[in-house]
Structure 1
Amino acid sequence: MSDGIKWLAAWDIPVAGVVFARGMSADELAVRLGGVLRETTEPTTDGEVEHLGMRGRGYGVRGDGVVRVGEDAGWAFAVEYGDSTGADRLEEIASGRVDAVHYLPMGSRPPARFHYAKNGVLTCGFGIGEEHRRWGAEPDLLLLELIAGEVLHPDGSQNLPPSREHHTAYQERSLGVLEQRFGLSLPRAVLGEARLPAHAVRGTPAMRTGPEPDHRQIKAWAASLGLTWNDTGGRVPSHVREAWNHVARQDPKETV
């Protein structure tokens, strides 16, 4: 039995989104997002992505983006991290008789967003919780399903949740419509301990997942300062690496 996607309503993990594509492999989805297959990492968990050395987005400067890819329920999927490319490339991903879905998790304001593209055309999109405002080449593609799922009233207006209903439960109704219409599923283990190939899709993150050569040296230095972290394959957390590099520049003898 698949995990579906309704559970994404409670998604509070700092990822950039998820892309689904039907009609291609996970490897091809990674390439269409900007990845290079020969530069994939060893299978990586969600928690290990933070050790890939991604640079954050700055004013006027794009950051690094990484995706972890897999397949489930007849769809390839890509979980996005950092400054990824799914929102920018959805129509390109959907070219050539391909269906593509992008889900952007957010809070209630701004809302999470759904987009569906097919054959290279953005077909339908809306905010979760604002389904009465739809766009795309076929904005009413899911209208009947949204009404049947009690997300919208029969006249197409928003069926706002009662004050006693938690916002997450309301989002689950909308995601349930998408899950049923498209057969979407993302295994819960993907955001746990499941290991998947990771690809850089924007920028130049350090895409190594094996032990870093100076890992033990830095860990001993950090421990002398009272800094510790959960060891994940011999990788140094980015904030510790930055502190180490700073000390090395200021006083190289401190890091010898």
Structure 2
Amino acid sequence: MTDGIVWLVDLDGWMSSVVFARGISPEELAVRMGADPGGATEPITDAEVWQLGITQWRSAEYGDGVVRVGRSGDWSFALEYGDSTGGDLLVELSRDGVEVVRYVPPQEHPPADFHYARDGVFVCGHGLREEVWRWGSEPDLLLPDLVAAGILSSDGSTFLPPEDEDYRTGYRHSLGVVERRFGLSLSPAVLKDARLPAYAVRGTPRMTLSP
């Protein structure tokens, strides 16, 4: 694996998230996220997802959520689109000994977020450039890695990089810690150019490409 995941920081205007899962197949990951077994589309690209009639927001109800799934190294992954379910289901996704990592890019404002669950437990999470605030059953799991990377003081209470550091630089440092700790990698070509099966995980998207 050579691409890593730090490059995700530089994606402008990409409003989806990425879920990585170790210990289950890509299809099982989609099913745990709400898909029907065997309900995949033909393999499609990132651009073609938006031809599926996705409505992201509806008044007083959930919007549509779609994932494209695949595998990279030891990890299955799901690229989330629309009103997907990854943020709601991390504990469920990780049941039966599975490990799950989710990266949420900044939406209307920073920060981006990292979440990690294992075997039915939300283990740890933090905002990128907000690593002094950590949560989960083991909030300090990554503290030694963050200290070694020069992001936090040894007790985890002080943010070390200069205040005027560009936020993307800080994001790269922090996401690099996650990348190395869990051995994550995803080729940039997967996001836009690769053809991957897609599944509906919430709502009622059309799930066939418009003409």
Class of the TM-score when normalised by the shorter of the 2 chains: over 0.9
Greater relative contact order structure (CA < 8 Å, 6+ sep): 2
Separation (CA, whole Å) in 2 of partners of 1:44 and 1:94: 26
Normalised by the length of structure 1, the TM-score is 0.78
CA distance in structure 2 between the aligned counterparts of 1:85 and 1:125, rounded to whole angstroms: 17
The match for 1:158 is: 159
The SS at the match of 1:76 is strand
Distance across 1 between alignment mates of 2:70 and 2:2: 14
CA distance in 1, matches of 2:109, 2:130: 10
Segments of 4+ moved more than 4 angstroms: none
Give the partner amino acid of 1:160.
P
The one-letter code matched in structure 2 to 1:2 is T
Pick closer, same or farther for the CA change 1:107–1:148 going to 2, 3 Å: farther
Partner of 1:169 in structure 2? 169
Counterpart position of 1:250: none
Shift in Å at residue 13 of structure 1? 3.8
In 2, the alpha carbon distance for the partners of 1:149 and 1:13 equals 28
Contact 2:15–2:107 (CA under 8 A) maintained in structure 1: no
Q: What's the counterpart of residue 7 of structure 1?
A: 7
Q: Aligned partner of 1:159: which letter?
A: L
**Deviation at residue 39 of structure 1 after TM alignment:** 2.1
Shift in alpha-carbon separation, 1:108–1:81, aligned structure 2, 3 A: closer
Q: Which residue of 1 aligns with 2:49?
A: 49
Write 1 or 2 for the structure with the bigger share of helix: 1
Does residue 1:85 correspond to 2:82, yes or no? no
Aligned residue identity for 1:180? R
The superposition leaves residues 4-49 of structure 1 with CA deviations (integer Å, 9 ceiling, x where unpaired) of 1111111224332110000011011010011113321110100111
SS at match of 1:106: coil
Output aligned runs, 1:3-152, within 5 Å. Answer: 3-106=3-106, 109-152=109-152
Report the Cα offset of residue 138 of structure 1: 0.2
Aligned-partner Cα distance in 2 for 1:63–1:108: 18
Segments of 5+ residues of structure 2 without an aligned counterpart are none
Q: Which residue of 2 aligns with 1:223?
A: none
The structure with the larger Rg is 1
Q: CA deviation at 1:166?
A: 2.5
Percent sequence identity is 52
Provide, for residues 77-109 of structure 1, a one-character-per-residue CA deviation record: whole Å limited to 9, x for no partner. Answer: 000000000000110000001100111100693
TM-score normalised by length of structure 2: 0.94
> What is the identity, as a one-letter code, of the residue corresponding to 1:89?
L
Amino acid at match of 1:6: V
Alpha-carbon contact 1:15-1:79 (below 8 Å) kept: no
How far the C-alpha of 1:3 sits from its partner, in A, is 1.0
Shift of the alpha carbon at 1:191? 1.7
| Preserved contact between residue 108 and residue 129 of structure 1 (Cα < 8 Å) | no
Q: In structure 2, what residue type is equivalent to 1:67? A: V
Corresponding pairs, count: 210
